[in-house]
Structure 1
């Protein structure tokens, strides 16, 4: 359902001059990007809407209360928020320094001033549109049926593939998109998913922290990264930074947790009702 709703809503964007150019019109830009009108409606229609509908049908009101409860579970230790806010940029900077021989510049004040506002916008756009479906709905069910690692290995590719039509648009760098670009993105999605599953479990299934982790990557790469690494600022380099940082973080998480990713024993885990 998430694929059907999102892909149908994205079709005009992909066919427009912003994408394949089959339709002779462009989506207007808001805050310098066409994605607010071209991508966001389809994102909202997909994962979060599908999760709501299926939860309501399968689990009824008790299931919806659990689903919404995870979205509103923000009262956890401030250390988690600080770790994500600092850790994500630090990991991306360290990875970039390793790739580009230490060529890094301090970002200008304007970037620092824009960072938090963009982060908040991302929380209410990308974060709200995607994570109530992928992590809030899918992760608990997949962990219950399999385990944290196997569930993540199923969910990561599904999450990445959901984005595929957007590679035929401005979002994915069309017409310069290559199969390598797509492959790197999918691998990065799987790596990020491993870390997100661990954070989701270790915070007692707090969706706000998982959303913050997701959008911190997007925000840093879109707002600060090019200013800090201007000599290497291009789409291919930024994609490889995210890929290497994600895979490295995933491997460290897997080794540190012995593949359990913070999952609790079945008898102690909150078990969603099954219709």
Structure 2
């Protein structure tokens, strides 16, 4: 199991996670937080990320398609927003200079999803079977973890305003 997880971290499909994190956490998050605050910015980013992956629900060889169609899309969005809260908190608490926190969260989530929610076997050509009950439970757990972080940080998610030398924002 440890070897399989390690291999998943190195698979080429993880490069998409890195590229997504460059766009989402590396570019958009900072701008959204500065303009709308950490809570609203993160909620928008999480919802956008879920929308970004909507086409995957129509591609037969994807994890999202194996969920059984759009009936699980609301649970998927809930999960993406919950993960975005956790990832924003990690990003803000690593000095906003490290995309590695977002990438590691993203990679762990992708790996965890494949290993725990499907019967994926590396090299298998058909879509993996999907455990819908476990996914719903996982969605609720991730959302609750996000709520705990939101409450614990009073919605700030580790965000610190940086003032310019003149005292302006």
TM-score band by shorter chain is 0.7 to 0.9
Name the residue aligned to 1:104.
none
Give a deviation string over 1:150-202, Cα, whole Å, max 9, x none.
Answer: 111111111110111110112122693132x0111011111111111110000
Whole-angstrom CA distance in 2 between matches of 1:162 and 1:117: 26
Q: How does 1:56-135 map to 2 (within 5 A)?
A: 111-121=1-11, 124-135=14-25
The alpha carbon displacement at 1:225 in A equals 5.2
Count of aligned residue pairs for this structure pair: 152
Partner of 1:242: 138
1:16-55 superposed matches below 5 A:
none
- TM-score, with normalisation over the residues of structure 1? 0.51
Gaps of 5+ in 1: 1-110, 228-232, 269-275
Q: Which residue is 2:167 aligned to?
A: none
Is contact 1:143-1:151 (8 Å) kept? yes
Q: Is the 8 A contact 2:92 2:157 kept in 1?
A: yes
Distance 2:147 2:89 in 1: 12
- Three-state SS of the structure 2 residue aligned to 1:265 is coil
Q: 1:215 to 1:175 in 2, by over 3 A?
A: closer
Q: Do the aligned residues in 2 keep the contact of 1:122 with 1:215 (CA within 8 Å)?
A: no
Residues 1:154 and 1:190: Cα distance change in structure 2 (over 3 Å):
same
Higher helix share: 1
Deviations 1:76-120 (A, max 9, x none): xxxxxxxxxxxxxxxxxxxxxxxxxxxxxxxxxxx2211112123
Counterpart of 2:159? 263
Judge conservation of contact 2:14–2:107 (CA < 8 Å) in 1. Answer: no
SS of equivalent residue, structure 1 residue 193: helix
The root-mean-square deviation of aligned C-alpha atoms, in Å, is 2.2
Cα distance in 2, alignment partners of residues 122 and 204 from structure 1:
28
Change in 2 beyond 3 A, CA 1:175/1:246: closer
1:163 maps to 53
Instruction: Pick the structure with greater CA Rg.
Output: 1
Are 2:79 and 2:142, in contact at CA under 8 Å, matched by a contact in 1?
A: yes
- Runs of 4+ more than 3 Å apart: 224-227
1:210 pairs with 2:102: yes
TM superposition score normalised by structure 2: 0.80
